[in-house]
Chain A
Amino acid sequence: MTKPDADLFEFLLRMGDTTLILGHRLSEWCGKAPVLEEDIALANTALDLIGQTQMWLGLAGEVEGKGRTADDLAMLRDAWDFRCALLVQQPNGDFAQTIMRQFLFDHWHLDALCKLAHHSNDQVAAIAAKASKEVTYHAERSADLVIRLGDGTEESHSRMQAALDLLYPFVGELFTFSVEDLRPDYDAKVEAILTEATLTIPDSRFAHLGGLSGTRHSEHLGHLLSQMQWLQRAYPGDTW
């Protein structure tokens, strides 16, 4: 691969692996959400993210030029070849953690896709434009839930605050690979929503790194892959 192609491949893996792992995490909720409407919304969001994964990883395989499909990339790489953000690797925890993780991710995701919709590579721009329509809805929904649960009961407030404290150290990593600096807009938007939710952003801007670069993943990723990839690994070469 030429250097530009290698860079593009790396970028596409970061997008596709991040949507794949978050989509997988959301799919773990199937049948177990607090209300039926949330079961539907979680499955719907997971479905969008898996659809986006097919596009990002499909293009990654083309750019790489070794004949690997989106499925090959998803199912047949080991953890060190993954390029997913640490935030999305975090376990679902309670509903507060799932929704807070989604909220912190969605607002970065939407801003990133809106910028990428003007990318010089037409295929990247087309995928981003399509995905941004779906993610607009994801961002609205997660913000709405963060506000309602943050400013709900004492218990819902304390669970949402605990989730924010737990997950905020994984936010900084998202801004380490964007083409433009998205952080100021993100901070303004997220802070406004969290204020309305009566939640407090932690003072520390400490950020865990290593997911998007693949240099130091969480321990959670290997377990997730062992489940997700099991069938393809147990029956190599079979088609399903």
Chain B
Amino acid sequence: MYAQMVKSEATQDDPEKLKAFQERIDAGDKIEPKDWMPEGYRKTLIRQIGQHAHSEIVGQLPEGNWITRAPTLERKAILLAKVQDEAGHGLYLYCAAETLGVSRDEMTEMLLDGRMKYSSIFAYPTLTWADMGAVGWLVDGAAIMNQVPLQRTSFGPYARAMIRICKEESFHQRQGFDIMMKMCSGTPAQKQMAQDALNRFWFPALMMFGPSDAESKHSAQSMAWKIKMNSNDELRQKFVDQTVPQAEYLGLTIPDETLAWNEDKGGYDFAEPDWGEFFDVLKGNGPCSVDRIATRQKAWDDGAWVRDGLMAHAAKKRAAKVAAE
């Protein structure tokens, strides 16, 4: 997902306080920034929300790659609106994380020096226009699976950010599917482009949910704290069950020969992605990992004089105001 493999922090707090905290969560209370919270809850949330925010920001790049080559004015406008939404999502999420005592600049530095991650999916290249369809359809579709339940997450600012984000994400998913529909009903070359995009994005999309919960050491605590609402496998299954009929509707083939409907479980059986590749991507060895961070680093470095200039002007204004009083 946009937050993958988020390590839960062990917590050393007073057992009485922890018990009372857990009771609030179990009762469905929202935890607000000024409320007492276990240190592990705070740190895990910073990591999770930060990773989600970074994913929104880095996620602008593979789409930005096609804004300048969008085939029509309408497609260009839609893509611009979508990328603008994503920057906005990043902003809400950084603000939510800031309520936990970490600044946006600190989180940015942690992304750039590798202490914080972004979703593995954005380390893959967007090679054709059909990839704009595949990203909306599959990547935003997968993100929605996780984000809809997170609207009920226990941390108030995160839950509220997620409510706004989900409204926009469903539009993003629809616009992606719309691009795919247009291409699948177009020329043979367009349909081939759509199939190629599905071939390349299918397994990376499945990886977004993270490895099986059997291998996920941190899930239980996060689920008890309601900062993770469903298991990785549950969400992946739901995503496959939703997406396969959509691919059939488009006349596209899911690149998985083992894919089959399983009557007993009422869902599809499907092949696991290559988890070796997933861990390589997380380590910074994705096809575009180096480029993505280099681009963000350059934006950060090139923008330093702008940020300094704006701060210096604000300081001059404050000083002038004080002098006038």
Query: What residues on A are CB-neighbors of B302 within 8 Å?
Result: 32, 34, 94-95
Q: Taking the nearest CB of chain A, how far is it from the CB of B115, in angstroms?
A: 19
Name the interface residues of B51-93: CB closer than 8 Å to any CB of A.
Answer: 57-58, 60-61, 63-64, 67-77, 80-81, 83-84, 87-88, 90-91
- Rounded to whole angstroms, the CA-CA distance of A44 and B43 in the bound complex is 34
**Segment of A121-129, A150-158, A182-190 engaged in the interface with chain B:** A150-158
Decide: A227 and B57 in contact? CB cutoff 8 A.
no
Q: Taking the nearest CB of chain A, how far is it from the CB of B95, in angstroms?
A: 10
Q: Is A80 an interface residue (CB 8 A)?
A: no
Look across to chain A and name the residue whose beta carbon is closest to the beta carbon of B104.
A36
* A-B contacts, 18 listed (Cβ < 8 Å): A20-B73, A31-B57, A31-B83, A34-B303, A35-B303, A35-B310, A40-B84, A43-B80, A47-B84, A148-B309, A148-B310, A149-B309, A152-B312, A153-B309, A156-B309, A159-B305, A235-B190, A238-B187
Name the interface residues of A51-88: CB closer than 8 Å to any CB of B.
Answer: 51, 53-54, 57, 70-71, 74-75
Query: What residues on B are CB-neighbors of A94 within 8 Å?
Result: 302
Look across to chain A and name the residue whose beta carbon is closest to the beta carbon of B67.
A27
Q: Is A162 an interface residue (CB 8 A)?
A: no
Decide: A240 and B309 in contact? CB cutoff 8 A.
no
Look across to chain B and name the residue whose beta carbon is closest to the beta carbon of A227.
B68
Q: Taking the nearest CB of chain B, how far is it from the CB of A90, in angstroms?
A: 16
User: Which of B60, B74, B309, B311 has the most chain A CB atoms inside 10 A of its CB?
Assistant: B309
- What number of residue pairs across chains A and B have CB atoms under 8 A from each other? 150
- Rounded to whole angstroms, the CA-CA distance of A38 and B303 in the bound complex is 10
- Rounded to whole angstroms, the CA-CA distance of A149 and B316 in the bound complex is 12
Decide: B69 and A32 in contact? CB cutoff 8 A.
no
Query: What residues on A are CB-neighbors of B61 within 8 Å?
Result: 30-31
Quick one: which of B70, B72, B299, B308 contacts A152, CB cutoff 8 A? B308
- Rounded to whole angstroms, the CA-CA distance of A44 and B84 in the bound complex is 7
Look across to chain B and name the residue whose beta carbon is closest to the beta carbon of A228.
B68
Quick one: which of A36, A54, A95, A232 contacts B91, CB cutoff 8 A? A36
Interface residues as binary, B202-223 with A (CB distance below 8 Å gives 1, 0 otherwise): 0000000000000000000000
Name the interface residues of B92-112: CB closer than 8 Å to any CB of A.
Answer: 94, 104
Q: Taking the nearest CB of chain A, how far is it from the CB of B171, in angstroms?
A: 14
Decide: B80 and A47 in contact? CB cutoff 8 A.
yes
Q: Taking the nearest CB of chain A, how far is it from the CB of B98, in angstroms?
A: 12
Q: Is B283 an interface residue (CB 8 A)?
A: no
Decide: B182 and A156 in contact? CB cutoff 8 A.
no
Query: What residues on B are CB-neighbors of A238 within 8 Å?
Result: 71, 186-187, 189-190
Decide: B67 and A40 in contact? CB cutoff 8 A.
no
Q: Taking the nearest CB of chain A, how far is it from the CB of B211, in angstroms?
A: 28
Decide: B299 and A74 in contact? CB cutoff 8 A.
no
Q: Is B306 an interface residue (CB 8 A)?
A: yes
Q: Taking the nearest CB of chain B, how far is it from the CB of A214, in angstroms?
A: 20
Q: Is A2 an interface residue (CB 8 A)?
A: no
Interface residues as binary, B289-325 with A (CB distance below 8 Å gives 1, 0 otherwise): 0000001101100111111111111101000000000
- Rounded to whole angstroms, the CA-CA distance of A231 and B186 in the bound complex is 14
18 other A-B residue contacts (CB within 8 Å) besides A38-B306, A57-B73, A75-B71: A23-B76, A27-B64, A30-B61, A30-B80, A31-B83, A31-B299, A37-B91, A40-B88, A53-B73, A54-B77, A70-B73, A149-B306, A152-B311, A231-B71, A232-B72, A235-B187, A239-B182, A240-B183
